[in-house]
Amino acid sequence: MAAPKHPGFSTLSLHAGSRPDPTTGARATPIYFTTSFVFRDTDHAAALFNMERAGHVYSRISNPTNAVLEERIAALEGGVAGLAVASGQAALHLGLATIAGAGSHVVASRALYGGSHNLLAYTLPRFGIETTFVDPRDLDAWRAAIRPNTKVLFGETLGNPGLDVLDIPSLAEIAHGHRIPLFADATFTTPYLMKPFDLGADLLFHSATKFLGGHGVAIGGLLVDGGRFDWEASGKFPELTEPYAGFHGMDFQEESTVAAFSLRARREGLRDFGACMSPATAFQILQGVETLPIRMERHVANTRKVVEFLVRHKMTESVSYPELDTHPDHALARRLLPRGCGAVFSFNLKGDRAAGRRFIESLAVFSHLANVGDARSLVIHPASTTHFRMDAEALKGAGITEGTVRLSIGLEDPDDLIEDLARGLRAAEKA
């Protein structure tokens, strides 16, 4: 027999989970715009409801368009299953709510997207789930924060806003030593730049709104199960290893040795929390995933050129990008992110808030808005927008200065981006 060969990343980006439509021959994945699916007969209906047969019942639980996206992201990440949900926030919530409940504890990196921080710091405590936030670079702090009721360690593959590189191999070792999983927000890296499961993570999610979609037209989230964590051996997750009264006494770990988490997340989480993705959104995100490898290559190439320009500019105080040897995680990034460190980064302008505002207002190609990972380049000035209520001291605590600017580098011609930034920097200088 010839040596076996896995399909490559680009092939999976186009083909995993999809095939020509068996009824119409449509080559692209159709949008199955239907809430519900006809049963063949009463026995088929009962078997679908009782998980004796695979199939679709109601689009809150599963839909054929969504299933293609779910299986494709699982294939690209090297996992066992995906769940398409309404947003990245919904994916984080579903991931945590599947394995944690009242009395549970989470240890999380403190370098998180604001929305994730809000959920963990303010909202989940109302439901009895507490979080301890730690410096993601301080492994001892992660260890010290783990309690007997800790259910998961959580961090972003590239943290917010300083692009702290999550040391997944070390954190996975710590987590597994305590028989708990490591959960990563992989939005900024996508599976093209990093495959967290290969490094030791157990669960991950994406805000598919960002690079996976890439077009900035649809909000969505994807939760992915790595399938390696042994919930039974852990003994800490009765949700997955003991009969669940809410689903005919099902013991999810018995049903699936490797995908118990995904079974419960779908059978309970999508059913009861209901944060499902529209099939139209799944279709739109699939269009993005098909070109993910070539887009990420371009995102990274453009980012490197912009970073190089900014580092040399006299109005730049500092640039925070892990490919620079001035970044504290430079060595780790070389090891974990050899294809590049993504396309979102911050730099500090010389000057005050007024300089920041003048810079932003002078840009013509960059769009001033609160998102990242678009095909178009984006910019935001935290001190005058997301963090405008904070004084200089409070900003410092959040790792932000009055001159901090966050860029998300798109797919335009890099010379045009550099020219645009040069115009903005000239304006800032005059402020």
Partner 1 sequence: MELTVEGTRAYAYTGGKAFDAKLPCVAFIHGAQHDHSVWVLQSRYLAHHGYCVLALDLPGHGRSEGPAVASVEAIADWVSAVLAAAGVERATLVGHSMGSLVAVDCAARHPAQVARIVLVGSAYPMKVSKELLDATRDDEPLAQDMVNIWSHSALAHYPSNPGPGFWVIGENLRLMQRQKPGVMHVDFAACNAYSSGLERAVQIECPTLFILGERDVMTPRRAAADLARAIRGSRTAVIAGAGHNVMGEKPDEVLDTLREFLGTSA
Handedness of CA 84, 87, 88, 90 (dihedral sign): negative
Q: Which of 59, 15, 26 is nearest to 277 (CA)?
A: 59
Q: In terms of CB distance, is 22 or 25 closer to partner 1?
A: 22
Q: Out of 26, 33, 36, 55, point to the residue binding partner 1 (CB under 8 A).
A: 55
In the bound complex, what is the minimum distance in angstroms from residue 255's beta carbon to partner 1? 5
Count of Cβ atoms closer than 10 Å to residue 46 Cβ: 12
Minimum CB distance to partner 1, residue 227 (Å): 4
On the 0-12 / 13-18 / 19+ scale of CB atoms within 10 A, 240 is: buried
Looking at 23, 24, 54, 391, which residue binds partner 1 (CB under 8 A)? 54
Minimum Å distance from CB 79 to partner 1?
A: 6
List binders of partner 1 among 22-41 (CB under 8 A). Answer: 22
Helices (H), 100-218: 114-118, 139-145, 168-177, 190-193, 196-199
- Residue 16, interface with partner 1 (CB under 8 A)? yes
Least Å from the CB of residue 143 to partner 1? 27
Binders of partner 1 among residues 194 to 233 (CB under 8 A) are 227-228, 230, 232
# chain residues binding partner 1, by CB under 8 A: 54
Query: In three state form, how does the secondary structure of 342-381 look?
Result: CCEEEEEECCCHHHHHHHHHHCCCCEECCCCCCCCCEEEC
Rg (CA), the chain: 22
Residue 64 interacting with partner 1 (CB under 8 A): yes
Nearer Cβ to partner 1 (239/402): 239
Distances (CA, A) of 89 to 219, 335, 387: 10, 29, 20
| Count of all residues that appear for the chain in the document | 431
**Closest to 141 measured CA to CA, from 170, 176, 181, 101:** 170
Footprint (CB under 8 A) of partner 1, residues 227-286: 227-228, 230, 232, 248-250, 254-259, 262-263, 266
Applying CB under 8 A, the residues found at the interface with partner 1 are 1, 4-7, 12, 15-19, 22, 46-47, 50-56, 62-64, 66-68, 70-71, 74-75, 78-84, 227-228, 230, 232, 248-250, 254-259, 262-263, 266
